[in-house]
Chain A
């Protein structure tokens, strides 16, 4: 059998399995099998690559594959579910770096041996892929460092956007030089090549460094799309159809996903990229009427045990307190008493859209009692109790009524429409945005002060005794 045909069929099969896998990953019922199919495709393509004709340096390749796989496998097995977003950023950056490395190897060869049989298009795409890949690498590393808490501040300075633009333009000029020099008998200057990569990496850092933590997921998703594009470009350079297809699919899917995320957070992509949160001038905030009314755990448990419909609104605070397992225990106890319990998830409830679902899934909460904002908002009116744990801004009715508020216009969960609202909260502080939460002062709201995990455990204890 013809070796080329076999290798190329393997790549075709891999591309098919990637698309099938992603399709299956877009529904919770089939998602698990989706990643397994895609993984199978990756295995097929990797084995096929070993049979590439005239492949040299095979011991080096094997060592590098083993080193990279081992390090990634160990770190990926260890990472906590709460830290998932930054790990995704890191692996994505590695992909971008790999695409840039491919371009570097090819361009260095052109520098040393002349253009050979490369066409102008190939050089242009190699340079474009290198630029995007390098930006994705350094930007993702910064995103990782920020979410991991290694870098704590959103670093801004005057004229930042002008400075960034100049760096970007300088990188483009160097890229243009590489392309023109490649057509020249004198060849590409090594200095220009080095400066191009250095500036591209610097630009990635500059893009990511002023972004605030809450907006980071959108940026990570954007870098993910960019890496896909870089991989597609380098796929063209190497004449590898699997890379072109997989890279382009991720590029366009990632772009759409980025837009969906930005929309879920009520921001536009431009807004995320070019402005810090809360930096816009706002007028005087509305005054709050009433006071916060405390309640005891015993009373809450009676209220919940004899309710018909309970909606739990978890926020990132719940995950930080590691209370999700206790919450699921409480839910099961209530279900045994015939209470209809559901979870209402705001799109930005975790660190990125969908993150809270992952955290609840980790605790064992089945996905069919978890509802999105659109699905559940109308049902709050018929809920006897809305239990808010570790969520704040996402249930603040001020977003509906006060145009001066920085969170005005953000879609919120209508927890305030439930007959009774119970808020479990450590103290009387404000939310992430620093906005006073009117829900806490409402007539139908009672505050259960204390640590999330302890309070939920106490509720379960009381309910068991009934």
Chain B
């Protein structure tokens, strides 16, 4: 468990505020950015890597360690793969003046 205790009601506050934040960020996006943005948000939940590292970090015994190990591999794939494809797509968006 963590050192900073996040109690139920505080977690609910975080859920609520973060939920509105996500909604507000996306609500005015032009269609041309839908694909890169989906890819970008896919990258952002790659933060699961931190959780997977912590889970493996206190895993004991073969089964826990194996699953934790797989979890970290998958999470790292999510973060790195998500970053590279998003960056590759956005790198190409140029305006007429930009050249």
Contacts and interface: CB of A to CB of B under 8 A. Distances in A.
B35 A353 contact: yes
Interface string A247-274: 1111111101100110010000000000
A332 to B, nearest CB: 11
Interface string A222-256: 00100110011011101111111111111111101
B35 A350 contact: yes
Contact of A84 (B1, B30, B35, B49): B35
Q: B interface, by DSSP: helix, strand, loop or mixed?
A: helix
B65 A253 contact: no
A372 B33 CA distance: 11
A253 B41 contact: yes
A296 B6 CA distance: 71
Given A87-B81, A220-B38, A352-B38, A246 B45 contact: yes
A280 interface: no
A306 interface: no
Contacts, number: 406
B33 A251 contact: no
A352 B35 contact: yes
A21 B31 CA distance: 18
A209 B81 CA distance: 24
A105 B78 contact: no
Interface string B51-71: 111111111110111011111
Contacts of B63: 108
A25 to B, nearest CB: 5
A64 B33 contact: no
Interface residues of B, number: 88
A34 B31 contact: no
Given A21-B40, A64-B56, A250-B41, A98 B28 contact: no
A438 interface: no
A56 B61 CA distance: 12
A426 B34 CA distance: 30
B4 A8 contact: yes
Interface stretch (A36-44, A147-155, A412-420): A36-44
Given A35-B87, A253-B26, A235 B51 contact: yes
Contact of A94 (B58, B64, B74): B74
Nearest to A87: B85
B66 to A, nearest CB: 10
Contacts of B1: 117-118, 238-239
Nearest to A350: B35
A53 B3 contact: yes
A75 interface: yes
B69 A88 contact: no
Contact of B38 (A35, A66, A257, A362): A257
A371 B65 CA distance: 51
A94 to B, nearest CB: 4
A21 B2 contact: no
B17 to A, nearest CB: 8
Interface of B: 1-6, 8, 11, 14-15, 18-23, 25-61, 63-65, 67-96, 98-99
Interface of A: 4, 8, 11, 14, 18-19, 21-23, 25-29, 31-32, 34-36, 38-39, 42, 45-46, 48-50, 52-58, 60-61, 63-69, 71-73, 75-77, 79, 81, 84-85, 87-88, 90-92, 94-95, 97-102, 104-106, 108-109, 112, 117-119, 121, 220-221, 224, 227-228, 231-232, 234-236, 238-254, 256-257, 260-261, 264, 345, 347, 350, 352-355, 357-358, 361-362, 364, 366-370, 372
Given A42-B47, A68-B80, A73-B80, 7 more contacts: A26-B33, A88-B35, A91-B43, A250-B22, A250-B44, A354-B34, A364-B94
14 contacts: A25-B33, A31-B93, A32-B90, A36-B87, A49-B54, A79-B85, A88-B42, A94-B77, A101-B52, A108-B63, A220-B38, A251-B22, A257-B34, A367-B32
